[in-house]
Each structure stands twice: as structure tokens, then as C-alpha cells.
Amino acid sequence: MTRDREPADLFVIGGGINGCGIARDAAGRGLSVRLAEMGDLAQATSSSSTKLFHGGLRYLEYFEFRLVREALIEREVLLEAMPHIAWPLRFVLPYHPEMRFESETPTSRLLNRVMPWMKGRRPAWLIRLGLFLYDHLGGRKILPGTRTLDLTTAPEGAPLKPDFRRAFEYSDCWIEDSRLVVLNARDAAAHGAEIMTRTRVVEAAREGDLWRIELEDVETGARWATHARMLVNAGGPWVGQVIRDVAHIPSREGVRLVRGSHIVTRKLFEHDKAYFFQGTDGRIIFAIPYERDFTLIGTTDADHPDPAEPVVCTEEEQDYLLDFASQYFARPVTREDVVWTYAGVRPLYDDGAKSATAATRDYVLSLDEAEGAPLLNVFGGKITTYRRLAEAALEKIGRHFPKAGAPWTARAPLPGGDFPVDGVEALISDLAAAYPALAPEEARRLVRAYGTEARRLMDAAGGPGRSFGGGLTEAELGWLMRHEYARTAEDVVWRRTKLGLRLTAAEVAEIDAWMAEQRRERDDARAAE
């Protein structure tokens, strides 16, 4: 069965940040767009990041100056476009002059040749030089610059071992990663895109100047076909599988799957800054204030053999992160501190690097125009540069769509982000005044998730309504089902929010039952029309 009467300009495979970002940009330029995601939006890599908009300080050691500069510029562009789900975060980098690192980067090899007596150490001047570049490569305007801390007196030194007496403090940004994806999908839909979740692309074949795409509803098994002038493969970890098994196109380009694992622990420190820790193995991890009562620690870099393999934080990775953090914190971090773990697979372009850590994080856009309708394959990328990746993708395919509009997404607000960067507190006060039954922290959470739409969310339901625990109400659940493609409790408690950290299994089951009943009522109403 073929559902569409008119072919779309673009058909996008993948509902992660790259797919939704491209769909939004293209739809805003006047192109007709359809997007299919086989699961929920941001169900894989895009909800499993370290939740940072950052330039990638450590990439300077690999001389990836273009990537870092682009990411640094994007930090401030995106802060203005989404001040509800992104905000500045200060990072504390403790320094110990005697620490040695088994680092194999271009920078370390150069230093070992020039100053062999420093082998295995990152001298303070080198770190300060890197931070100077980090402060200035991107033309920073909003974020404060680097400063030096005396850890013997600063509160940031209190949780750390007394060996660490000095630190450098610099700026990066926090981002609610899965909400970023959903808001891009919503804005794409507002510009005319069709977003289809839980819809698998079974087959794609060229038919002259068009692609014929066979689709399957994952929940019902129903199948149908649609057509498009161009296919965009933003399948993330499955990008290679789409090329081989869906489009059946021979390609020498490969993807390197790198697993990044994280642990969430009880709150390990009281201040609101994050830590940047250097490991003796040359790697780095972050320890970040998380969801008010927790600390997020990550990430690892390990090759992942197959996207079909379960993506979990292994016992070995948990031990690695706990041991790494315990080298810095005065009180050792143990298994008893861990409340949750998660992992995601980054689909990096296979550039032949020796290790997963050294593999490039830059994106690669490969356009296949060999026969008939074109195919764009998207490899790699960082969440920080997703908007620039989308612009680059539209530029690369521009000659196929000469009537498409100009770039438009820079500083264009995402849904709920139409307020000044410093306007969060005013929105929280307004929401709390309008709905005094909301606890202060709940009003803050809602504004941080929905921005100016938090008040609309409550007004549309006439108030919070039934409570399901953890601050989740009937008003919010209804909004998520109507406007944000949520269908199950898992969609809500682990992607649209992180309330799974606070809810019991019984409460989650109650949410699932309520949502199932809402779906049945909606389906019955449609059948009666």
C-alpha cells in the first residue's frame, strides 16, 4: 500500500539529534520532509550523552582546531535559542604537578620529543595554554573566561583529596539532550514535516529519480510505502546497516561504534560546578551535578562490536569510573553510591584511529549520487554541533533543491525557548504565582523543561490534576502525549524527563496504565468519527 500522493523532498531515517536537526532545518526552508524513527525519539545515542554542550577541550590535544572552534561558537548560539534546556556550567580542572599520564596524542608525542624529562606529565603552562585557546577560539561573549582556584580555601576543594591544591576553572554548557531532540522534532512538524515514531524502514530502493521506501508500524505490523526525491540516512549506530541492508548499496565507508558509559551516584558535593578529571591512562571523565540530588560521572570510550548487541554500562566500566573518580574525591566512590547506570553508542566515522578515544568526533557527510535519486549518509558528529551539521547537510544537497530557502536556524528559538537567557527566574516566579500548589522545585523543573510553554501546559489542563509521584502530574502527561510523541511510561520517565530516578516501579506501572487508557480512548474516538 502507498499512502502518499506526492513524493516528499526528503525522507529522513533516524529520530536522533542529527535526523531531527536536519528535518527541522529542511522543513524551515520550505522542503517537504518525512522522518521515520523505529523507536521513540532520542531512544538510542541522543539520550545517552554526558549532557554537555562543549567545545571538547581534550580534542585540542589531537589538533582538531576546526571542530573545537565550531563547537565553541555553537555553545553561545544555542544558549540563546534554548535557554530553558541549556545553561552555562563552570568546570573545575584540578591540577597535580606529579601526576603522570599514559597519553598517546599528537601533543604528548611532540612534548616527549621536545621535553623528554616531562614524559607522562601535562605541565601547568600547557593546560593554561589549552584553556587560553579554549577561551578565544570561538569568540566567547556570554560565558565567563578561565580563572585559577586555590583548592586549599575554595569550596570546590573540600570534596577532593588534599593532594590537589590548585585548579583551573573554565566555562562550558549543560544541555537536556533528549529534550533537545524532541523540541527539534516538534519544530520540524510546526514547519510542515511529518514525524513518524515507532516506524521502521524495511526497504529503500531507487525508482528512477525517486526513492521508494517501505515502512512498517512497529506496534501493529502494518506496512505501506512512500516516495521521496532524496533519502537521508541519519541512522546513528545503524547508519552502516541502513546502507547495506536497507538501501543495498555497496560502500567502502565504515562506522566505528564507540560505547560511552555513565554512572549516576548519590550527590557527592554541594556546590553547583562540575569537575574535569584527568586519568593516568590519558583519558578524562566529568563529575557533574545532576537532577538536584545526584552526581553524573562519565564517560568511557570502548569499541562496541554490533548495534544489535545490548548497550549497557558493564561491570568493568562501572569499576573503571568508580576507581577513576576515587583518585580525586577524598571519600572513595563505591558501588553502594551508584543509583543508576546508562550507556550509548556513538557512531563515529572510521578514520582508522588506533583507539576508540583517538577516533575523530567530527562529522562526515557522504553524498551518493551514483544512480538516480541521491542518498546522504551522516556519520559521527557531536550533540554540540548538530545544528551546524544540519546546515552543512542542506548546503551539500542544495543543488538538488534550488528553490530551498536560506539558512535560518541560528538563534531561532526552539519551542518554549522564546525568552532571554537571563529570564528563567521570572518564568519560574510567574508559574509559581499562577499555580501555588506547585512546590518551588517542581515549578523550576517545569520551566527548565518547557520554558514559556510550562504555563501553557498548566493552563490547557486547568491545573496540575492527578499526581503520579515525583512531581509528575496528569497535566504534564497529557501534554507529552499530545505534543511530544510520548506513548509509554519509559518515554516519559527516562527521556522527556529523568523522573525515573525518583519513581517506584509501582508508580511507573500506574503511569503506563494511564497512558494506555488515554491511547484507547483516543483510538475509539477516531474510529467513531
Q: What is the pTM of this model?
A: 0.93
Between CA 106 and CA 273 the distance in angstroms is 30
Between CA 411 and CA 349 the distance in angstroms is 28
Answer yes or no: is pLDDT of 56 > 90.
Answer: no
Rg (alpha carbons) of the chain, rounded to whole number: 23
Range(s) of the chain covered by CATH 3.30.9.10: 90-98+112-173+256-349
Q: How many CA atoms lie within 13 A of 424 on its CB side?
A: 19
Range(s) of the chain covered by CATH 3.50.50.60: 8-45+178-254+360-400
Q: Lowest-pLDDT range, 143-152, 198-207, 276-285, 327-336? A: 276-285
Between CA 231 and CA 129 the distance in angstroms is 44
Between CA 250 and CA 278 the distance in angstroms is 41
Helix (H, G, I), strand (E, B) or coil at 210: strand
Question: What percent of the chain shows pLDDT beyond 90?
Answer: 75
Q: What is the DSSP letter of 160?
A: B
Q: Model confidence over 65-74: pLDDT tens digits?
A: 888 888 899 9
Q: Model confidence over 173-184: pLDDT tens digits?
A: 999 999 999 999
pLDDT of res. 252: 78
- The Cα-based distances of 410 to 77, 389, 390, 407 in angstroms read 6, 12, 11, 8
DSSP letters of 39-77?
SSTT-SGGGSS--EE---GGGGGGT-HHHHHHHHHHHHH
Output the CA angle 273-135-80, nearest 5 degrees.
70
pLDDT of res. 115: 41
What b/e readout covers 219-255, taking b as 16+ CB neighbours within 10 angstroms?
eeeeeeebbbbbbbbbbbbbbbbbbeebbebeeeeeb
What is the CATH code of the structural domain delimited by 8-45+178-254+360-400?
3.50.50.60
Q: Model confidence over 472-522: pLDDT tens digits?
A: 999 999 999 999 999 999 999 999 999 999 999 999 999 999 999 999 988
Q: How many CA atoms lie within 13 A of 17 on its CB side?
A: 26
265 CB neighbour count, 10 Å cutoff: 23
The contacts of residue 352 (CB under 8 Å, 6+ apart) are none
Between CA 61 and CA 162 the distance in angstroms is 28
Q: Model confidence over 95-144: pLDDT tens digits?
A: 987 666 565 555 555 445 544 433 445 678 888 888 998 899 888 888 99
Q: Per the structure block, which three cell numbers stand in for 430?
A: 510567574
Per-residue pLDDT, averaged over 177-196, amounts to 98
Which candidate, 414, 472, 384, 390, places its Cα nearest to that of 85? 414
Between CA 188 and CA 312 the distance in angstroms is 31
Q: Specify which residues 271 forms β-bridges with.
A: none
Q: Are 443 and 464 in contact (CB under 8 A)?
A: no
pLDDT of res. 97: 75
pLDDT of res. 308: 80
- Higher pLDDT residue, 360 or 364? 364
Q: Is the peptide bond before 299 cis (omega within 30 degrees of 0)?
A: yes
- Higher pLDDT residue, 382 or 425? 425
Q: Which CATH architecture has domain 90-98+112-173+256-349?
A: 2-Layer Sandwich (3.30)
210 CB neighbour count, 10 Å cutoff: 18
pLDDT of res. 114: 45
Q: Lowest-pLDDT range, 353-367, 402-416, 471-485? A: 353-367
